[in-house]
Amino acid sequence: MSFPLLTATAAVPAVGAILTAAVPAARRTAAKWLALLVSLVTLVLAGIVFARFEPGGDRYQLTESHSWIKDFGVRYELGVDGIGVALIALTALLIPFVILAGWHDADPLETQSKRWRPTQGFFALILMVEAMVILSFEATDVFLFYILFEAMLIPMYFLIGGFGDRAHSGTDENAAAQRSYAAVKFLLYNLVGGLIMLAAVIGLYVVAGNFSLTEIAEARANGSLEMASSTEKWLFLGFFFAFAVKAPLWPLHTWLPNAMGEATAPVAVLITAVVDKVGTFAMLRFCLGLFPEASKWATPAIVVLALISIVYGALVAVGQRDIKRLVAYASISHFGFIILGIFAMTSQGQSGATLYMVNHGISTAALMLVAGFLISRRGSRLIADYGGVQKVAPVLAGTFLIGGLATLSLPGLAPFVSEFLVLVGTFARYPVAGIVATTGIVLAALYVLVLYQRTMTGPVKEEVRSMPDLRPRELAVVTPLIALLLFLGVFPKPLTDVVNPAVRHTMSDVQRTDPQPEVPVQTVEAAK
């Protein structure tokens, strides 16, 4: 097609970020509405991308290709498969809710240090992150993807360090120090991963002679590109390390609880529901697509790390006293499920992992944003400071419960389908790993229900007696997310139809087929 739809989908929020930042300081309300309008236009464009994608068509569609750095063979090359389309839709869907939920998070606030929170900058940074994430899901040039992979760290650093959570028990100076620590830790972890990936990107160019994902995959398929086994393994490890930091996978996860704890609730959603998905997406597109043999070689070790993430994240979540850190450790456990599904090397596991990325984004957004509304009312992130909230704010408590039940993958809500497919795919090839992974389900029920019991039930604490229920703006944020959790929980077909063909291509890349059942299925006639 002549119109560059993929470029437009990323360019709109990028241009919107510049325009939002340029709004005069006295017109901060206009900046908010402009950012919201830009995010809605982006959502419409993402919807068009989703509608125009043909699941039974070419692997990469709506492609664009232009020369960028000619001497090094770097191209501005875009294309989407079913996995990329689903994640673009997720990103574009969540950003309007992130903006609405953070409507007052960056309003001018005169602190003890006499500094003001620049509203325009806050919303401009959110739009810039959206642009980079969407473009990273579209990039089929490895070098272009690497640039975006690293560049998105800059706005995220300022969102974490410059716009922290106001609900902090310490002094203003202590809160600023904690935000700075979380932002620097986030940046350093991801920069180290990115630098290792850069070495692998250069090594890939030396071996393949270009950065095009499609050309490299085609050359490997027809035998015109041969890669030594040791070389492939080292390159795979370079890419995987960076993606495992971003994901995050144990033991590279420690930056996430700090970042989500100190960021505002909308920015915490941006981290775990949007930005971190780039890591798991890249495992499918680049690790499995570029290094199929090394992926199979590393699978046993990665499955073990994923299982540790599942159990460790859930266990630590059980013992948390901070609401936001609990959600952060729960996310570490969920990312373990996603990575387990990817490297189970079965079609059910990889389909489940992709659906998990989407459904985890929606469920975590619902839970974290409602938690943010709760925290903003009481001014505390500590679980012990709440009690009996359901008696004074029943709608808030009800939506919090639904978000929590989605987090523990209750049947009928969207994450259940994802988790079920991941476990089915894992049991088919690694039954012991499947058994260990199911402990994460039990622990999820424990930390979610204990959290709800301690905050929402029991005697009403004096500090929450005057707590207001959800306001219209907050209902406008939560209601569509809950509706999506219910819709995709009973009818996931719109997503599975798009995702499954892409998964079949990925399985073909690694030359894997689904294991045959050990007990043959008998027809009715044969049984008679």
What is the three-class DSSP state of 77?
strand
The predicted pLDDT at position 378 comes to: 86
| 326 found inside a domain | yes
Residue 114: pLDDT over 50: no
- Cα 37 to Cα 22: distance, rounded to the nearest angstrom: 16
Token pair for residue 236? 């795979």
Q: Are 235 and 294 in contact (CB under 8 A)?
A: yes
| 237 found inside a domain | no
The predicted pLDDT at position 220 comes to: 77
Question: How many other CB atoms are there within 10 angstroms of residue 239's CB atom?
Answer: 25
pLDDT tens per residue across span 123-176: 999 999 999 999 999 999 999 999 999 999 999 999 998 887 666 544 556 777
**What are the distances in angstroms from CA 364 to CA 23, 260, 331, 356, 369?**
32, 12, 8, 11, 8
**What are the distances in angstroms from CA 80 to CA 56, 147, 344?**
13, 18, 23
Residue 70: pLDDT over 50: yes
| 298 found inside a domain | yes
The predicted pLDDT at position 525 comes to: 58
**Lowest-pLDDT range of 62-66, 68-72, 420-424, 493-497:** 68-72
| 376 found inside a domain | yes
Residue 68: pLDDT over 90: no
Virtual CA dihedral for 87, 91, 93, 99, nearest 10 degrees? 170
| 83 found inside a domain | no
Question: In terms of residue numbers, what domain contains 327?
Answer: 291-513
Query: Based on the structure, what is the number of domains in the chain?
Result: 1
More confident residue, 482 or 505: 482
| 417 found inside a domain | yes
The beta-strand segments (E) located in 418-499 are none
Residue 103: pLDDT over 90: no
Mean pLDDT of the region 32-59: 92
| 508 found inside a domain | yes
First-to-last CA distance in the chain? 56
Strands 61-69 and 74-80: antiparallel
The predicted pLDDT at position 520 comes to: 64
| 19 found inside a domain | no
Q: Are 224 and 286 in contact (CB under 8 A)?
A: no
Angle at 440 between CA 298 and CA 398, to 5 degrees: 135
Mean pLDDT of the region 281-303: 91
Place of tokens 């930390």: 447
More confident residue, 206 or 512: 206
The secondary element (H helix, E strand) that includes residue 140 is none
The predicted pLDDT at position 38 comes to: 96
Token pair for residue 326? 């609990």
More confident residue, 2 or 170: 2
**What are the distances in angstroms from CA 189 to CA 84, 125, 210, 263, 359?**
25, 20, 28, 17, 26
Among the listed residues 197, 207, 223, the one whose alpha carbon sits nearest the alpha carbon of residue 287: 197
- Cα 160 to Cα 162: distance, rounded to the nearest angstrom: 6
